[in-house]
Chain A
């Protein structure tokens, strides 16, 4: 089955810890994205990558880091510098970043800070 997988589904973090959220796709897509969703707010872009070994900050990148060493993988690290990390995190991918390229989303990871 082709698609996007995110793990874990639920993640609990103590204050001061870094955690890494996994995102893998087997769609052979070049572009990958990370979004954050909070109750009552729209999704907000954290980081995006249009090609391997390159990525750009989105609207709310502070306290997060990413890597894109392989085409199929785009892990997101939530660092201790992120002041309010409790949220639902969604990863997406598209063939490219052009006007005809639909973004496909994974099932999400719900992060809770204890």
Chain B
């Protein structure tokens, strides 16, 4: 079975804290993605990675960074959390091949107070 695991389902942080969201996939997928989901705005791509140590900015990278040191793990980092980063964060992975399916984790609901 396909498995994308996000380390936390719910997270509460303070403004200014450094926040790490972890994502692990067990399918040996090359591509991994971080999206955020907000009411009325839908899902928006933050960053993606197509290989170890490789990353590309998505539509809304400001205030975020990512790390991919191992193929199975893709981390999203909020360098200094702000209240406007309160959101649902979804990690996804996809194998090579043009139309392979993108599989999602269960999501992390982050609240920044």
Question: Are chains A and B native binding partners rather than an unrelated pairing?
Answer: no
